[in-house]
Chain A
Amino acid sequence: MIRTAGEHALLVETGSLELSHRVDAALRARRPEGVAEIVPGPETVLVVAPGADQAGLRARLEEVTRRERDQVVAGAGEDHPLVTIPVVYDGADLDSVAELAGIPAGEVVARHTGRELVVGWLGFAPGFAYLTGLDPVLETPRLDTPRTSVPAGSVAVAGPYSAVYPAASPGGWRLIGRTAVRVWDVAGDPPSLFRPGMRVRFEAA
Chain B
Amino acid sequence: MIEVVTPGPYATVQDLGRPGHAHLGVPRSGAADAPSLRLANRLVGNAEGLAGIELTFGGARLRFLDGAWAALAGAPLAGTGMGAPFWVPPGGELRLGAPLWGLRTYLAVRGGIAVEAVLGSRSTDSLSGLGPEPLRAGTLLPVGPPEGVISVDLAPLPGPRPAVLRVLPGPRPAVLRVLPGPRDDWFVPEAMAELCGRAYTVTQDSNRVGVRLRGPRLERAKEGELPSEGMVAGAVQVPPSGQPIVFLADHPPTGGYPVIGVVRGADLPVLAQLRPGEEVRFTTRRDP
Contact = CB atoms under 8 A, between A and B. Distances in A.
Contact of B227 (A43, A50, A122, A195): A43
Contact of A124 (B231, B252, B262, B265): B252
Contacts of A113: none
Nearest to A123: B254
Nearest to A8: B265
Nearest to A47: B230
A6 B230 contact: no
Contact of A11 (B19, B129, B182): B182
Given A4-B181, A6-B265, A126 B230 contact: no
Contact of A127 (B24, B129, B227, B252): B24
Interface residues of A, number: 39
Interface of A: 3-9, 11, 24, 36-46, 48, 50, 121-130, 167, 186, 190-192, 195-196
A5 B128 contact: no
Given A3-B181, A8-B265, A36-B19, A121 B128 contact: no
A94 B24 CA distance: 28
Q: Majority SS of interface residues in chain B?
A: loop
Contacts of A123: 25, 228, 252-255
Interface residues of B, number: 36
B23 A195 contact: yes
The 7 closest A-B pairs by CB, nearest first: A46-B230, A6-B262, A39-B230, A3-B182, A123-B254, A122-B25, A41-B229
A7 B262 CA distance: 8
Contact of A191 (B19, B119, B181, B229): B119
Contact of A38 (B23, B182, B234, B262): B23
Contacts of B22: 37, 39, 46, 48
Contact of B128 (A7, A40, A125, A192): A125
Given A41-B254, A44-B227, A9 B232 contact: yes
A127 B24 CA distance: 5
B20 interface: yes
18 contacts: A4-B181, A5-B259, A5-B262, A6-B232, A6-B235, A6-B263, A37-B23, A37-B253, A39-B253, A41-B230, A45-B230, A48-B230, A121-B23, A122-B253, A124-B25, A125-B128, A126-B130, A127-B24
Contacts of A4: 179-182
Contacts of B19: 36-37
A154 B8 CA distance: 37
Nearest to A192: B24
Interface string B225-262: 00111111011000000000000000011110001001
Contacts of B118: 186
A3 B182 CA distance: 5
A36 B26 CA distance: 13
Contacts of A8: 232, 265
